[in-house]
Chain A
Amino acid sequence: MGRETNTGMESDKSGRRGFLKKSGALGAGLILANPFNIISNPLNTADEVKVALVGCGGRGGGVAFANIPKIPGCKLVAVCDIVESRREGFKARHKKRTGKSINAYEDFYQMLDKEQLDAVVLTTPDFWHMQHTVDALEAGIHVYCEKAMSNKLEDAYKMAAAMKKTGKLLQIGRQRRSNDRYRFMYHNLLKKEEMFGRLTHAIGQWNRSQIWTQRPNKKDKLDFKTLKKYGFDTEDQVYNWRNYKKLGGGVVSDLGSHQIDIFNWFFDAYPKAVYATGNNSYFGFEQADTMATILEYETPKGPAIGIYENISNSRAIGVYERFVGDNGAFIISEGKDNKIYRESRVKSSEWKHLIDKGYIDQYSKVAKYKSKESGDSGIKETAPQIAYDIKDIKDLDIIYNLPAHTAHLKNFIEAVRGVEKLNYDAEMAFKSEVCIYKIHDAINAGGDKIKITEDDYKVI
């Protein structure tokens, strides 16, 4: 089937040749080699999309060095950051990895003037999103902006309105919208197969042991005059901007917005009312570190309730979204917690067609080894409750087969090329931002019910 090439290990470590010779029989298995029958050039593409990255922090690193290299034709041409060591560090790292030079800027507008950009990717603190987005869109440049859209609802609105007005693309970085499994769950299992019946409850949580704060990086050598110019009052605000109300949106925006957006997506509805409570008693930052909310929905199939919590002092039971319908329930997450349960009144034969289609599988991946179809392996120990997993992701218009952050950015790049439509444009994202800010209002209102009207969700 293939030919082995020099692995590089033999020349590096000549003392090991004897062992390598012994292993010459290895023709199958996992080997280091180029297969002759596969043409490996996935990154060739006709239309190059020139992209600049704004914000050279942690998420920016993911975009520049993990996401963009996997997207055909997506070319990083410039980076922008107000901290010199960060932007120059990115520039050097990019040169080292790709052999190609990029330009580095402190000033966003200078970059827009000098570079011939198709798009910008914004991975800056929330409070900078609106101005950069609106100005880029009005300059004719498409924008991919990390969530949250902003730390102010009125600014999120301005972003969505600018997208509509300019006709340029604005995708918001809630990457689950481009996650193959989430898309498969929505399009195939929920919409096409309606396997869970009427969804009545969504329960979500993002629990973590603590809010890890960052200490100043000695290499950064911050210039306070520059920081002040860009809206930062203290050194701590540069590293921990999420904890400040004037710069970020706190845990509800950072974490909750991902998951409440999934509630909205899978329910095909947006909340009519929210109740919420929260406090900052655990860490004492400006933003709430602990919160819980109840959201009331009127879905196309009937009323539904969303329940969401965020805890920052215990990682107990982690991060997931759980949906309950009258025919079944499921847990979905970007981590390990993923399972589908059939309600006992639904006969197994009613879900058999989903197994036959290869959509779901039973028995923790070992169903194919069972003698009979279900439940009968003889008289022995008590078997566990039957649960199902998503099996083959198929029958979707697009299957990215990429990590979700990369898939979401790829969807944006393909939309810039005119090949795909955005999976999550700013108008959709704005509706979920409305929920988030109404939760903030509810927390501030001390537990009162906050109603949300249809007009609140509109972008004119």
Chain B
Amino acid sequence: MNSLEYFHDAMATNFSLKIAGIESSVSEHVAGLCFQRLDELEMKLSRFVPDSDVSRINRMKSGEEIMLEEEVYDCLRLAIEVSLLTNGYFDVGTAELSDIYRGYQNGILNEFEYSNAISTAMSEKAEGSLYLNPNVAMIHCVADGLKVDLGGIGKGYALDLLKEYCLENEFENFSFNAGGSTVLVCEETPTKFKLSAKNEQIDIRIAHASVSSSGTGQQGNHIFNPATGENEERIYDRVWVCSPQAGYSDAFATAFFSMQEREIQEVSQDVEEINWVAVSSDGTIKFIYKKEKELI
């Protein structure tokens, strides 16, 4: 049986699901359930949905606490873990910076206002403190000022949940693609993907892993250095990270985009979930880290 591919718009991008080895009526059913689940997740994880948990977190004032949906809690725990592992380079507290940047891009703020706004937002962010309860799905706002955006991890996290769903239902050969920025593959035979830089293309093969990339091609300068609030600095044109879990590959790719090669290598050596890391910076692609026993 040939593989069939299904598409769905969610999380401000186009998701696809390719399924092989089952009848079309069954694969259509699987796709439908996966995409419904994806829509549910977006309603919980997106800061652009005013009723989502993330929007409610961003409206919290000092001293307030709210109970969270299970998925939001798990995703925030994963975000904290990657933040710790990358010494804070992965930072979900950049929503205000993104809003200011959009305001600038849309002509609402001029250059002067934009520059001052970034300084103000960075000060408020430094004051902000959110405590995620380790025992129950709750979050406490100790000091307001921190605005959460799960854009650097949410799509990957969602793909991991969809993969779980497929495996629970005994589907074994499938791959997801979240708008080209994260692919998650679960196939008996490795699937070929291209990594592209200005002067070079490389074929990679993935069977049971996820690859995410971060760059500025599609969304402009949307990744902020959490230490400076700047989004104009450029170390790489693109970063790719391969991991068994899409939540990790997505988040580490975001963090690594702002980190030096040496720092990336240090982190990668200590994180068993990172299979390999590649970067492009001068039109060519360079693998800067690979596990001794490479996992695909």
Residues of A within 8 A of B (CB): 1-2, 5-9, 13, 15-16, 18-20, 22-23, 26-35, 37-38, 40, 42, 65-66, 69-70, 179, 181, 209-210, 212-215, 315, 334-336, 338, 363-366, 369-371, 377-378, 380-384, 390, 392, 401-404
Cα-based distance from A83 to B8 in the complex (angstroms): 32
From residue A141, how far is it (CB to closest CB) to chain B in Å? 27
Cα-based distance from A403 to B52 in the complex (angstroms): 7
The answer to whether B33 touches A38, judged by C-beta atoms less than 8 angstroms apart, is no
User: Given the known A-B contacts A29-B88, A30-B130, A31-B131, are A382 and B108 also in contact in the complex, defined by CB atoms under 8 Å?
Assistant: no
Cα-based distance from A69 to B69 in the complex (angstroms): 10
User: Given the known A-B contacts A32-B77, A40-B65, are A23 and B128 also in contact in the complex, defined by CB atoms under 8 Å?
Assistant: no
Q: Is the interface of B mostly helix, strand, loop or mixed?
A: mixed
Among A8, A30, A69, A209, which residue has its beta carbon within 8 angstroms of that of B76?
A30
Q: Is B13 an interface residue (CB 8 A)?
A: no
Among B85, B129, B148, which residue has its beta carbon within 8 angstroms of that of A16?
B85
Cα-based distance from A181 to B25 in the complex (angstroms): 40
5 contacts between A and B (CB under 8 A): A27-B129, A28-B129, A37-B142, A215-B25, A371-B112
The answer to whether B129 touches A1, judged by C-beta atoms less than 8 angstroms apart, is yes
Residues of B within 8 A of A (CB): 8-9, 25-26, 29, 32-33, 35-36, 43-44, 46, 48-51, 53, 56, 59, 63, 65-67, 69-70, 76-77, 79-81, 83-85, 87-88, 91-93, 99-100, 102-103, 106-110, 112-114, 116-117, 120, 126-136, 138, 140, 142-143, 146, 148, 267, 270-272
User: Given the known A-B contacts A40-B140, A366-B100, are A66 and B70 also in contact in the complex, defined by CB atoms under 8 Å?
Assistant: yes
The answer to whether A179 touches B51, judged by C-beta atoms less than 8 angstroms apart, is yes
User: Which residues in B have their C-beta under 8 angstroms from that of A32?
Assistant: 77, 80, 131-132, 134
From residue A317, how far is it (CB to closest CB) to chain B in Å? 11
The answer to whether B53 touches A22, judged by C-beta atoms less than 8 angstroms apart, is no
Q: Is the interface of A mostly helix, strand, loop or mixed?
A: loop
The answer to whether B267 touches A19, judged by C-beta atoms less than 8 angstroms apart, is yes
Cα-based distance from A413 to B109 in the complex (angstroms): 47
User: Given the known A-B contacts A28-B143, A212-B36, A363-B103, are A334 and B110 also in contact in the complex, defined by CB atoms under 8 Å?
Assistant: no
The answer to whether B142 touches A35, judged by C-beta atoms less than 8 angstroms apart, is yes
CB-CB nearest in chain B for A376: B110
Among A16, A210, A366, A390, which residue has its beta carbon within 8 angstroms of that of B117?
A366
Among A15, A40, A66, which residue has its beta carbon within 8 angstroms of that of B136?
A40
The answer to whether A384 touches B84, judged by C-beta atoms less than 8 angstroms apart, is no
User: Which residues in B have their C-beta under 8 angstroms from that of A214?
Assistant: 29, 33
The answer to whether A40 touches B106, judged by C-beta atoms less than 8 angstroms apart, is no
User: Which residues in A have their C-beta under 8 angstroms from that of B92?
Assistant: 30
User: Which residues in B have their C-beta under 8 angstroms from that of A33?
Assistant: 131-132, 134
From residue B63, how far is it (CB to closest CB) to chain A in Å? 7
The answer to whether B66 touches A401, judged by C-beta atoms less than 8 angstroms apart, is yes
Cα-based distance from A69 to B137 in the complex (angstroms): 10
User: Which residues in A have their C-beta under 8 angstroms from that of B127?
Assistant: 28
User: Which residues in A have their C-beta under 8 angstroms from that of B80?
Assistant: 7, 30-32
User: Which residues in B have their C-beta under 8 angstroms from that of A20?
Assistant: 84
User: Which residues in A have their C-beta under 8 angstroms from that of B66?
Assistant: 401
CB-CB nearest in chain A for B56: A401
User: Given the known A-B contacts A35-B140, A214-B29, A366-B103, are A2 and B129 also in contact in the complex, defined by CB atoms under 8 Å?
Assistant: yes
Among A27, A371, A384, which residue has its beta carbon within 8 angstroms of that of B106?
A384
The answer to whether A34 touches B135, judged by C-beta atoms less than 8 angstroms apart, is yes
Q: Which of B44, B50, B91 has the most CB of A within 10 A?
A: B50
Among B48, B128, B140, which residue has its beta carbon within 8 angstroms of that of A38?
B140
Among A215, A334, A365, which residue has its beta carbon within 8 angstroms of that of B43?
A334
The 6 closest A-B pairs by CB, nearest first: A212-B32, A369-B117, A366-B103, A377-B110, A383-B107, A381-B107
User: Given the known A-B contacts A19-B87, A33-B132, A38-B65, are A369 and B26 also in contact in the complex, defined by CB atoms under 8 Å?
Assistant: no
The answer to whether A23 touches B142, judged by C-beta atoms less than 8 angstroms apart, is no
